[in-house]
Amino acid sequence: MATSASASLSKAVKQQYMELPQGDKVQAMYIWIDGTGEGLRCKTRTLDSEPKSIEELPEWNFDGSSTYQAEGSNSDMYLVPSAMFRDPFRKDPNKLVLCEVLKYNRKPAETNLRITCHKMMQMVADQHPWFGMEQEYTILGTDGHPFGWPSNGFPGPQGPYYCGVGADKAYGRDIVEAHYRACLYAGVNICGTNAEVMPAQWEFQVGPCEGIDMGDHLWVARFILHRVCEDFGVVASFDPKPIPGNWNGAGCHTNFSTKEMREDGGLKAIEDSIEKLSKRHDYHIRAYDPKGGLDNARRLTGRHETSNIHEFSAGVANRGASIRIPRNVGQEKRGYFEDRRPSANCDPYGVTEALIRTCLLNEEGDEPTDY
């Protein structure tokens, strides 16, 4: 099993230093999305005191030519603090700071989808849109081979691994437990976790989150997962189809509701939204992975609990549909629906914005409306 060289460094020796007092100073780790739209970057600065709100955090900058975000001749990009969490690695009073990225002219970077998402959420704030996202991922060795799989061959076929227990069924639970506790410490609204259908594949759920919080909390949960895996010397992959063939892919099923949908008789609003979504399938497919649908094409085949990428479908308790209405929602006539199309490596800002545009702002056609 290939693990990173840094994972073999003594964590006990490091702990000696981590226990040293830091005085009144605070370490703030600034986190941002790079030019790929799925990679995360981070760097740390010292603050003179513990910040109590996002407004107390200074803007910063970085070299965008090294993150696929600028050219060397004009490379300075701005980091604008947008959400703050407790730091589970350095512990209190230190902070994780999720940032938006602006270009030299103060316009949003191409992969800064947060800025328009935030605008859309403010436009529909009175409808109280809630989201819950189910983030699937695969644990890999540093050589790209799934964690715990035989070095030349495959484990037994899918069947015993989903929510499995035991050394021959659950591959890498230590990482899952560490990530869960770190998210709770940080203040991420993580609400559950389980082993998935493919061995070495897991899922965690974040939500319910209202508005822009969905994207903020999921991105920070992803960052924490990458950092936990770094400590263990392995890699978390959000690739939607890491292993070709008869193995499940990885998605990011997105559950969505409004105040109207959650109240008595809300099923009508749910059905109205699904009708709107049915007329805008191609727009959503483009918004649901960072490559405009190309990544998802490997996953959404109509097999392995997915719908076909070329067709829109909806059904009660149907895991082969684009949109699933949970059985209890059909019975109670209120609640939420699940969009099963988003890819594991989707940008949650892009996904939640698309749902708002189509379901609540009643947009039509293949392009988003400019407000």
> Domain locations in the chain?
7-111, 121-361
Residue type (1 letter), 55: E
Going 69 to 70 to 75 to 81, the CA torsion angle's sign is negative
Alpha-carbon distance 343 to 249, whole Å?
Answer: 9
Alpha-carbon distance 167 to 177, whole Å?
Answer: 15
- DSSP labels, 20-65: S--TT-EEEEEEEE-TTSS-EEEEEEEESS--SSGGGSPPEEEEGG
Alpha-carbon distance 182 to 176, whole Å?
Answer: 10
Indicate left, alpha or beta for 204 from its phi (over 0: left) and psi (-120 to 50: alpha). beta
Is beta strand 26-33 parallel, antiparallel or unpaired with respect to 95-102? parallel
User: Does the fold of domain 121-361 match that of domain 7-111?
Assistant: no
- Class at the top of the CATH hierarchy for domain 7-111: alpha beta
Going 179 to 185 to 188 to 192, the CA torsion angle's sign is positive
Helix extents (H) in the chain: 11-18, 114-123, 173-186, 213-232, 259-262, 267-278, 281-287, 294-297, 327-332, 348-355
Three-state DSSP at 127 gives: helix
Tell me the CB-side half-sphere exposure of residue 94, using CA atoms within 13 A.
16
Residue 96: strand pairing partners: 29, 85
Residue type (1 letter), 148: G
What torsion do the CA atoms of 331, 335, 339, 345 make, to the nearest 10 degrees? -130
Helix (H) or strand (E) holding 209: strand 201-210
Structure tokens at 98: 């999720």
The per-residue pLDDT string of the chain (371 residues; one tens digit each, 9 = 90 and over) reads 899 999 999 999 999 999 999 999 999 999 999 999 999 999 999 999 999 999 999 999 999 999 999 988 889 999 999 999 999 999 999 999 999 999 999 999 999 999 999 999 999 999 999 999 999 999 999 999 999 999 988 999 999 999 999 999 999 999 999 999 999 999 999 999 999 999 999 999 999 999 999 999 999 999 999 999 999 999 999 999 999 999 999 999 999 999 999 999 999 999 999 999 999 999 999 999 999 999 999 999 999 999 999 999 999 988 889 999 999 999 999 999 999 999 999 999 999 999 999 999 999 999 999 99
Residue 339: partners with Cβ closer than 8 Å, 6 or more residues away:
253, 254, 255, 256, 277, 284, 322, 323, 351, 355
Question: How high is the pLDDT of residue 74?
Answer: 87
What percent of the chain is helix, strand and coil (3-state, nearest 5)? Answer: 30, 25, 45
The long-range contacts involving 265-273, CB below 8 angstroms and separated by at least 24 positions, are 265/333, 265/334, 266/333, 266/334, 266/335, 267/329, 267/330, 267/333, 267/334, 267/335, 270/325, 270/329, 270/335, 270/336, 270/337, 273/337, 273/358, 273/359
* CATH superfamily to which 121-361 belongs: Glutamine synthetase/guanido kinase, catalytic domain (3.30.590.10)
